[in-house]
Structure 1
Amino acid sequence: MDYSDIASVAGKGGLFKIVKPTRTGVILESLDDKKQKLVASATQRISVLSDISIYTTNQEGSTPLEDVFRKINKEFDDDLGVTATSEPDELKAFLKHILPDYDEQRVYVSDIKKVVNWYNALRENAPELLKEKKEDKKKEKKEPKEQKSKKTEKSE
């Protein structure tokens, strides 16, 4: 599973796994334990997590949500210290800690609440997405080289 396989639907709480496209929309399955299926039509606003980013004041102008989730996981892991029902000042301080250059004018408290809720949903249902990308790539690159060297040792 990847961030491009998970979506948010406007008006529906939580995250959904994209099962498959249809002629008129997409079949989605809730990411929680209920595994409820939903057919989202083309008229509904569906946002894929890989396309979502948080506004920043740096040169790029935004940071992908995927990077933000990985920073949160690296820094806090299971205990965020905030929930979606926390005070607005606490939520802003939390995001400021994770993303010091986030744009306070364009990122609303409701957006931070979504980040917290979505992070918790991913931690429970797809924790592999929160791991560092670089480590995974290094492991994948090392394994084939080690296998090749073992084969060449056997043939010698």
Structure 2
Amino acid sequence: MSFQKILAISGKPGLYELKVQTRSGFVAESLLDGKKITVGLRSNVSLLSEIAVFTYNEEVKLIDIFKSIATKENGEATISHKETDDKLKSYFREILPEYDEDRVYTSDIKKIFNWYNILQPKGYVTLDALNAEVKEETAE
């Protein structure tokens, strides 16, 4: 289970796992309902492993934020992305105290919590899996 194959596709809800590449794009499977979709090369796609969050000093990789959440929650689900903006921001400040409030929007924070809660029951954000993922990235 690697973040290298987990995708966020603009305009599509949830997260997807990359299954196979085709001539005109690729096939991805939804982590929400298991349905497979074809995605064209023109679609705006982001790999979770490449996403980072702005802080005042540097950019922090999404996997490190997931690791902080998993540590705080002992590997369990976190708060819902549907909580109030103030509650989401204060919780996020506990996870990443130095995040740049001018460049990280509430919608970004909601996505992070939503993605974490999608990945958690699938076993992607357990402490063991995240530690292995971080070791794999630092070895590259």
Which bin holds the TM-score, normalised by the shorter protein?
0.7 to 0.9
- Matched AA of 2:76: D
Corresponding position: 1:69 with 2:66: yes
| Aligned equivalent of 1:110, options 81, 104, 107 | 107
Q: 1:47 to 1:123 in 2, by over 3 A?
A: same
| CA RMSD, 1 decimal | 1.8
- Matched AA of 1:51: E
Corresponding position: 1:87 with 2:81: no
CA shift at 1:84, angstroms?
1.2
Unpaired segments ≥5 residues, structure 1:
138-156
Task: Name which structure has the greater RCO, CA cutoff 8 Å, separation 6+.
Answer: 2
Contact 1:2/1:129, CA 8 A, preserved across alignment: no
Percent identity reads 36
2:95 corresponds to: 98
Q: Deviations over 1:52-73 (max 9, x none)?
A: 0111112xx2100011001100
**Counterpart of 1:121 in 2: which secondary structure?**
helix
Specify which structure has the higher proportion of helix: 1
- Matched AA of 1:96: R
Q: In the aligned structure 2, how far is the partner of 1:30 from the partner of 1:79?
A: 19
Q: 1:136 to 1:69 in 2, by over 3 A?
A: closer
Q: 1:38 to 1:134 in 2, by over 3 A?
A: closer
Unpaired segments ≥5 residues, structure 2:
136-140
Q: What TM-score do the two structures reach when normalised by structure 2? A: 0.87
Bigger Rg, which one: 1
Contact 1:68/1:98, CA 8 A, preserved across alignment: yes
How many residue pairs get aligned? The number is 132
2:3 corresponds to: 3
